[in-house]
Amino acid sequence: MKQSLPPLEHHSQIIGKLQAAVFEYTLFPNGERDFTYFSPFCETIFETKSDVLLSGVHPIESYVHEEDRALFLEDFKRWLAHAEEFRWEGRVVTPSGRCKWVDAIGTPTRMQDGRVVWVGLFTDQTTRKEMERTNRENKQRLDLALLGSEMGVWDYNYKTNVTVINQKWADIIGYPKDELEEMFCHCEDFIHPEDRPNYAATIEKHLAKETEFYEVVYRFHLKDGSWRWVMERGQVVEFDSLGNALRTVGTLQDFENLKTQEQIAVQAEGRYRELIETLPLGIVIYQDNQLVFANKSVAKMMGASSIDELIGKPALHFVHPESISKSLERMHELMEGKSVPTIEQKYIRLDGKEIIVDVSAHHLNFRGKPAIQIIIKDTTEEREALLAKRKTETLFSQLFKSSPFGLVMLDDMGKVVQVNEGFEKMFGYTSVDLAGKSLNEFIVPAELETEGNDLNTIISSEQVIKIESKRLHKNKTALSVIIYGVPVPLENKTISIFGVYVDITEQKRVEEELKVRNIELDNFVYKVSHDLRAPLSSVLGLVNLASLKGNTDNLEDYIQRIGQKVKQLDHFISDVLSHSKNLKLELKVEKINLQQLIDKTFADLNYLKGANEIVRDVMVEGKEFYSDPWRMGEIFRNLISNAIKYRDFAKSDSHIRISIKMANDRATILFEDNGIGISKANLNKIFDMFYRASEQSDGSGLGLYIVKNAVDKLGGILKVTSEIGKGTSFELKLPNHTFVAEN
């Protein structure tokens, strides 16, 4: 009696573990449409059971991301209307809310009964969309392999009792295709009586959902009365709510010339090897702690020149020492019938190079004995690319965050995405203040609104710009800035604008001050040369007069006049030196007794004409005062000497009132005199270099200029009020540098 052979299941299990979902989509003549087949991997992609997807409760368009749905439906209607072959890549949203990129391809076949059946694949493109090209090539190879496998294909619907088969099956068993479709529902009548029990048991086991698919070898009664060995593989692809089968699909292969289990195994293994050799995944089978099966991909992955270099290696030969304990634990669980998740591990190639792989493992029977199938995906390059990307992002993030310049990132609509700390310090606005808003509304002055809008337009057209302009701080203070605008393009489209702001306000201030100093320097050179030569010329003239023969003038008068001119020259040089010293001398803070300073200043100026006629009224109140002694001396010397020089000769009671009030943070000093006063027209000029408001003095014209510069150096404020015939008042507010002294 012919003994039935046990099914060879391991190759179908390998196909069942492929990282792609095979589907069949049918458009019926009555307009109804739905998926009629899904391979198990669909549950991984859509996170939904196959039977739920096939039930039609959630049509495929309900999974499409809302942003892609309109275009998808437009294409979908066209595919259905014209029975087109389609290729679609887009996003789907699973019930858990996860968004995935998928690639779907489908090829239509018009059936004789009017149905159009699309057969295709869903592949997960989330991690690496580059797999698109590889998956396309794999599908082409799979189609070629199936074409060369000479298999009969069938699809049976229990509800409609309709069977669809291909011509190859009819050719194998010698029946007309339409007759074979009619007799399919009672095909067991054509199975050899000796093979029926095994066939029935195999089918019942699968219908009870104990196996993912079934595989059985039996003899079939041909049209001419003879018997032929065939191998049938099938799977229920749709169940009702009670668990009853609604639809099955399968293949039929001619096994007439294969009479032994050895021959069947070799033939099956050879055919399925052709399929798995096209995969970019490494597939190995370990049995009795040895590698007994491997495909070409894993050989290349492990640096082997051929599969033979791998066969016979110990189960953990390629596992990195760090991962061995985990691998042993997983192998033990698999042999106990437990499932294990996909994990990341380190492997060591034959050349010693370490690689990172994703490893999934499954228990199966291989050639009649328990074994473990390992599916390996090399993620080394992917991880290195991800690491490089993270490194780049980190470097950019740190550069963006810590840059001393003001940096801002705008989206393609010119709205603020992010600003750095440098920008926040420069303009006073934070990312929270500006996010999602137009930057121009905040920092561009009203008079430069057109410029701000034009800049965004120019940068969006992928032009790099650099301009110098004005921008506003949050407190409405105007800042001088240099602006760099850089577009960020992607696929010939500007997706973002990167702006750099450099604050040159202080630089501009220094430039303006330098211009003033240059003007003063020119004026200084002219005035110095003039005011030095004038006294010298007078001295030289007196000397010439004294040396003339017959000159009977009193020489003592000449000497007295020469002395006056020399003294005038000395005072001028002294003022020039004071000015130079004030510009160069670093601030030196000491405790100052202002009362003593005032007394000493009056004593030093006692030589001035009329100094003894001035009535002094001095009042000093408050705490200790710390400042620069030399500059404070210059301030008092020049203000007191001016009060003496510009006293009103018509008044009999010329006086100077000095009022000083000292606090912890500052001293307020008020100088008042009842001298000739200063006109309003001249009041704004008195602090200019070499300016003399009155012909009453023969001074250098540097006195008040020195006072103003000294006050500025001390960080103080100077105000002046005056009225012709009534006198002049100077108010000084100078910081009390007690904290400097304490340090």
Which of the residue ranges 119-133, 269-283, 440-454, 608-622 would you say has the lowest mean pLDDT?
Answer: 269-283
Contact 662, 735 (CB under 8 A): no
C-alpha dihedral (185, 188, 190, 194), degrees to nearest 10: 180
| Mean pLDDT of all residues in 347-359 | 90
- Integer Cα distance of 558 and 175 in angstroms: 150
pLDDT value at 394 more than 50: yes
The yes or no reply on domain 10-263 and CATH 3.30.450.20 is yes
Average pLDDT taken over every residue of the chain:
80
- Integer Cα distance of 170 and 388 in angstroms: 57
Q: Looking at residue 197, what is its pLDDT?
A: 92
Residue 438 DSSP one-character state: B
- Integer Cα distance of 700 and 702 in angstroms: 5
- Integer Cα distance of 277 and 268 in angstroms: 14
**Under CATH, domain 585-742 is a member of which superfamily?**
Histidine kinase-like ATPase, C-terminal domain (3.30.565.10)
- Integer Cα distance of 69 and 600 in angstroms: 92
Return the domain boundaries, the chain: 10-263, 281-382, 403-503, 585-742
pLDDT value at 134 more than 60: no
Q: Looking at residue 537, what is its pLDDT?
A: 63
Backbone angles phi, psi at 121, to 5 degrees: -135, 145
| Mean pLDDT of all residues in 284-303 | 88
Length reported for the chain: 743
**How are beta strands 214-221 and 227-239 bridged, if at all?**
antiparallel
| Mean pLDDT of all residues in 424-441 | 89
* Exposure on the CB side of residue 447, measured as CA atoms within 13 A: 5
pLDDT value at 367 more than 80: no
- Integer Cα distance of 22 and 121 in angstroms: 4
% of the chain with per-residue pLDDT over 90: 11
Q: What is the pLDDT of residues 194-234, one digit of tens each?
A: 999 999 999 899 988 898 889 999 999 888 888 888 888 88
| Mean pLDDT of all residues in 323-329 | 88
152, 267, 295, 445, 694 from 270: Cα distances, Å? 18, 5, 12, 78, 117
| Identity of the highest mean pLDDT range in 18-22, 186-190, 513-517, 567-571 | 186-190
Q: Kindly report the number of other CB atoms within 10 A of residue 175's CB atom.
A: 19
- Integer Cα distance of 316 and 310 in angstroms: 12
**How are beta strands 354-366 and 369-378 bridged, if at all?**
antiparallel
Q: Looking at residue 194, what is its pLDDT?
A: 92
294, 414, 461, 471, 483 from 444: Cα distances, Å? 67, 14, 21, 5, 12
**Under CATH, domain 281-382 is a member of which superfamily?**
PAS domain (3.30.450.20)
Strands (E), 568-631: 590-592, 615-622, 625-627
Q: Looking at residue 145, what is its pLDDT?
A: 43
Contact 250, 232 (CB under 8 A): yes
Q: Higher pLDDT residue, 699 or 516?
A: 516
**Cα dihedral sign, 124-130-131-133:** positive
Task: Kindly tell me the burial class for residue 629, based on how many C-beta atoms sit within 10 Å of its own C-beta (0-12, 13-18, 19 or more).
Answer: middle
pLDDT value at 148 more than 60: no
Write out the two tokens for 210: 């104990």
Task: Kindly tell me the burial class for residue 132, based on how many C-beta atoms sit within 10 Å of its own C-beta (0-12, 13-18, 19 or more).
Answer: middle
309, 275, 311, 280: which is closest to 293 by C-alpha?
311
In sequence order, what are the beta bridge partners of 105?
A: 87, 121
Q: Looking at residue 619, what is its pLDDT?
A: 92
Which of the residue ranges 102-106, 139-143, 633-637 would you say has the lowest mean pLDDT?
Answer: 139-143
| Mean pLDDT of all residues in 556-578 | 65
pTM to 2 decimal places: 0.35
pLDDT value at 534 more than 70: no
C-alpha dihedral (673, 679, 682, 683), degrees to nearest 10: 50
Which residues touch 306 (CB under 8 Å, ≥6 apart)?
A: 299
The yes or no reply on domain 403-503 and CATH 1.10.10.10 is no
pLDDT value at 140 more than 50: no
- Integer Cα distance of 421 and 716 in angstroms: 32
- Integer Cα distance of 408 and 416 in angstroms: 7
- pLDDT tier, 690 (very low <50, low <70, confident <90, very high otherwise): low
Backbone angles phi, psi at 159, to 5 degrees: -70, -45
DSSP calls for 673-685: E-SS---HHHHTT
| Mean pLDDT of all residues in 504-533 | 68
Q: Kindly report the number of other CB atoms within 10 A of residue 72's CB atom.
A: 19
| Domain 281-382 and domain 403-503 have a common topology | yes
Q: Looking at residue 657, what is its pLDDT?
A: 94
- Integer Cα distance of 104 and 194 in angstroms: 44
Q: What is the pLDDT of residues 442-500, one digit of tens each?
A: 988 888 888 877 776 766 666 778 888 889 999 999 989 888 888 887 777 777 888 88
- Integer Cα distance of 340 and 264 in angstroms: 31
Q: What is the pLDDT of residues 577-632, one digit of tens each?
A: 665 555 556 778 889 998 998 998 888 888 778 888 888 899 999 878 999 888 88
